[in-house]
Amino acid sequence: MTLTRRSLLLAALSTPLARGALAHDRAALNPTEVRVHPGLAPGDIYVIPEDYHLYHIRRPGMAMRYGVGVGRAGLEFKGGAVIQRKAEWPSWRPTDDMIAREPEKYAKYADGVPGGPENPLGARALYLFRDGRDTYYRIHGTTNPETIGSSVSNGCIRLRNEDVMALYENVAIGTHVTVV
């Protein structure tokens, strides 16, 4: 059998210490260092949407696991990407698709929202690119921490602001992200 990232990730998830939590188990969404398959590359990020967890591989066999909120059905991001931009207190503008889908909610923000505590991207944002192009998906903070552990966003992966701030400090430009 060929050893791939996907097979390593699936093996890691079969490890009891790395297995995810149910959304209603709020304590399981708190940041926790967990054991993972030692073949996962340090620095990489893996997101398991159905478990509402993001794993940042810190060193061989160990990861920091964060609870996340993810995209609702039909809007979720899947596959691989690379972080090519990072921002503190980023500004935000809904995509044209978001405005078209829900104009009553998003049209008023068509000119954008400056960064700050009321901005939907929260305290930090990691911008996901694929083949050198912006996907318009982000790993970011949230002004609604109660949404962690649910599928309610327009596709982005959201963390509590304190968690995205910690992740931001430990992630470099060029980090590989896989959402399974």
Annotated active-site positions, please? 140, 156
Closest-CA residue to 65 (of 54, 76, 81, 80): 54
CA 102 from centroid of its chain's CA atoms: 23
Burial profile 132-170: b = 16 or more Cβ within 10 angstroms, e = fewer: eeebbbbbbbbeebebbbbbbbbbbbbbbbebbebbbee
Cα gap 133→14, rounded to integer Å: 33
Q: How many CB atoms lie within 10 A of CB 180?
A: 16
75 residue type, one letter: L
**Which residues neighbour 42 within 8 Å (Cβ) at sequence distance 6 or greater?**
57, 58, 59, 60
